[in-house]
Amino acid sequence: MAERPLNREWRRPGTLATCSLAHVLHDGFSAALYLFLPVWRAEFGLSLFQVGILKSSFVAGMAGFQVPAGLFAERFGERSLLAVGTAVAGLAYMALGGAAGLAALGLLLFAVGVGSSVQHPLCSSLVSRAYEGGARRGALGIYNFSGDLGKLAFPAVAAVVLVSFDWRWATTGYGVVGLAVALAVFVALGLLGSGGRPIAGRQAETSTSRPGGWGIRDRRGFGALSAIMVIDDSTRAGFLTFAPFLLADRGASVQTVGLALSLVFAGGALGKFLCGFLAGRLGIVRAVVLTEGLTGCGIVLLLALPLGPALVVLPLIGAALNGTSSVLYGTVAELVEPARRARAFGLFYTVGSVSSIAAPIIYGMVSDFAGVPVTLAIMGGVVLIIIPLTRVLRRALS
């Protein structure tokens, strides 16, 4: 059945708004886990290594299905897949309220990750297509920024709920919100005529795309972007997983940890917004060098500060920690043929997600052995490896 959009003039902003709503939800689901991990550690007697396994279970589910989501979207369209994935994530979040131990938590977090896997590749593809020939980089920047609103709000709301209720109330409530958003996304994209089953002409275009089936126009550039993405994502996953334990060791309550995460994500939202303009003025390479250098220095500075001043520094770390992604994501569409963007975005996000699987486990082992401060110091050093990698990126872009 053909889609009948209410008004074609609304397709661009409507698609962007709908994808941004999905981004708010899925990134909010991910961010709230950083608040729940210390709570689960205390309730179930987990080691930091086991905490890392829980976080990696979520990322593994997400990483394993991003590329298939992109491939299926080329055949069935983004709308149905995005709605179904969002519903799966919501149902799994609801079920977390009944989890009774490590195994149940791990399986359900894997299911949340599977449901969330559709969001990044499919929404990036939808927004890129909607703004083809227009302000695509700006639209992707707004979409990217919207995810940080979820990262800011979901941990903060969960922290408030935990003051008066058990954590199970928070996960169940978020699951209900996820189901509501799944329905809203399906209806909105249908009314806009966006993300339906591809027409025959578009499928034919997809089947004749070039380079190895991925449509990558510049493999050196794509490889350089992916390498930077690996280090950036692993540092972000490691820092957000274990920084709350550093703060807890310094006397922070669960509510203070929730505030700290909100400060990091608030800074991250500002960083993503500003770094788009920064890249326009300084260039992509210089912007990446600046954000990663500030990230490494900020993490090391955090180790030397008591709790109060540390809270003040966290927004600055968040801005640098998340700012790089805003620079990288907007470049992907320029390196890939339009018909292959869904799968290429899936590949790009998967490369970053795979590193995020290993990082919490490895850093969890280091933390159990040497302590969280040593682990964070290592993160601060590893992120600086990106700076020499930018020389490869500079040559590819030139």
Q: In this structure, what CATH number is given to the domain that contains residue 135?
A: 1.20.1250.20
Query: What pLDDT does 206 receive?
Result: 44
Bridge partners of residue 216, in order along the sequence? 336
Tokens of 325: 């992604």
Give the C-alpha separation, 277 to 342, whole Å. 25
Query: What pLDDT does 210 receive?
Result: 47
Query: What pLDDT does 397 receive?
Result: 65
* Structural domain includes residue 83: yes
| Type of residue numbered 285 | V
Query: What pLDDT does 209 receive?
Result: 44
> What is the extent of the structural domain holding 82?
8-397
* Structural domain includes residue 190: yes
Query: What pLDDT does 201 receive?
Result: 47
Q: Cβ–Cβ contacts within 10 Å for residue 43, how many?
A: 12
pLDDT higher than threshold 80 for residue 135: no
pLDDT higher than threshold 60 for residue 356: yes
pLDDT higher than threshold 50 for residue 264: yes
pLDDT higher than threshold 70 for residue 333: no
Q: Which residue has the higher pLDDT, 314 or 159?
A: 314
Query: What pLDDT does 208 receive?
Result: 43
Q: What is the pLDDT of residues 103-121, one digit of tens each?
A: 999 999 999 999 998 898 8
* Structural domain includes residue 313: yes
Global pTM? 0.74
Note whether 348 and 330 are within 8 A (CB).
no
Query: What pLDDT does 137 receive?
Result: 66
Q: Which residue has the higher pLDDT, 224 or 369?
A: 369
Torsion of CA 391, 394, 395, 398, to 10 degrees: -170
Give the C-alpha separation, 280 to 370, whole Å. 42
* Structural domain includes residue 54: yes
pLDDT higher than threshold 60 for residue 102: yes
Q: Which residue has the higher pLDDT, 352 or 383?
A: 383
CA angle 305, 297, 274 (to 5 degrees): 110
* Structural domain includes residue 3: no
pLDDT higher than threshold 60 for residue 352: yes
* Structural domain includes residue 1: no
* Structural domain includes residue 105: yes
Give the mean pLDDT of 75-85.
88
pLDDT higher than threshold 60 for residue 29: yes
3-state helix, strand, coil in the chain (%, to 5): 85, 0, 10
Highest average pLDDT, of 55-64, 263-272, 276-285, 296-305, comes from: 296-305
For the chain, what is the mean pLDDT?
83
Query: What pLDDT does 1 receive?
Result: 42
Query: What pLDDT does 270 receive?
Result: 83
pLDDT higher than threshold 90 for residue 285: no
Find tokens 């805003």 and name the residue.
326
Share of the chain above pLDDT 70, in %: 89
Query: What pLDDT does 8 receive?
Result: 56
Could you tell me the CA-to-CA distances from 359 to 148, 157, 160, 231, 366 in Å, in that order? Answer: 21, 27, 29, 10, 11
pLDDT higher than threshold 50 for residue 14: yes
Query: What pLDDT does 396 receive?
Result: 63
Share of the chain above pLDDT 90, in %: 24
* Structural domain includes residue 247: yes
Query: What pLDDT does 11 receive?
Result: 80
Lowest mean pLDDT among 142-151, 172-181, 195-204, 305-314: 195-204
Give the mean pLDDT of 262-277.
81
Q: How many domains does the chain have?
A: 1
Lowest mean pLDDT among 171-175, 209-213, 252-256, 336-340: 209-213
In 3D space, the residue among 50, 33, 68, 106 whose CA is nearest the CA of residue 343 turns out to be 68
Highest average pLDDT, of 41-55, 215-229, 269-283, comes from: 41-55
pLDDT higher than threshold 70 for residue 204: no
Largest CA distance in the chain: 62
Q: Which residue has the higher pLDDT, 82 or 270?
A: 82
Query: What pLDDT does 266 receive?
Result: 85
Give the mean pLDDT of 32-50.
89
